[in-house]
Structure 1
């Protein structure tokens, strides 16, 4: 397995740039350069690629978590913020109507 395949697998497992800082990734790539596993000329491209993949993974992970939370709330009949805001507005409108009728 070459180094790019190895790094791709790290992201598949949820390890890597999603939780690592750019400095940590640069350090890892520098170590790979020192060991001769990566050419110095490729190191900047690899860091950029890892950061990009990390951000993509993080976005997908966050979207997945949001969807799971939304589904859990729905499964347990919790009211969403949108539903709450809609109900709040309806109550305020009804209160205004009642006040208008009692002022007459």
Structure 2
């Protein structure tokens, strides 16, 4: 959910627009009607624009992931792996305390 908000914010802030294949096809069809693009070239143009859009989206996603990771490190926010490590450590310590308590004379 937060990632979606970041994507939308980044897309708006940088002027990127995520365009669907249908929107691209509609625009290219208009160019064909105006005679600016031939019918034979229109399919290649649609495919090229869709491919470039997908590549740009992948680049944006990679950059966003990188920036998010940097931000998490800067803010010292623990990762999921950090939390799992801490939970395991706590469980191990609880077991050790339980064992000490069980084996202490007079605690029978």
Instruction: Say whether the 8 Å CA contact 1:14–1:57 is kept in structure 2.
Output: no
Displacement of 1:69: 1.1
Deviates more, 1:65-74 or 1:94-103: 94-103
- Between 1 and 2, higher relative CO (CA 8 Å, sep ≥ 6) is seen in 1
Residue of 13, 16, 20 corresponding to 1:14: 16
CA displacement 1:49-87 (0-9 Å, x = unmatched): 111111111111011111111111111221122212111
- What is the TM-score when the length of structure 2 is the normalising length? 0.73
Report the count of equivalent residues: 89
CA RMSD across the alignment: 1.5
- What is the TM-score when the length of structure 1 is the normalising length? 0.76
Q: Which one has the largest radius of gyration?
A: 2
Query: 3-state DSSP class of the match of 1:20?
Result: coil
What is aligned with 1:100?
Answer: 99
Large movers: runs of 4+ above 3 Å: none
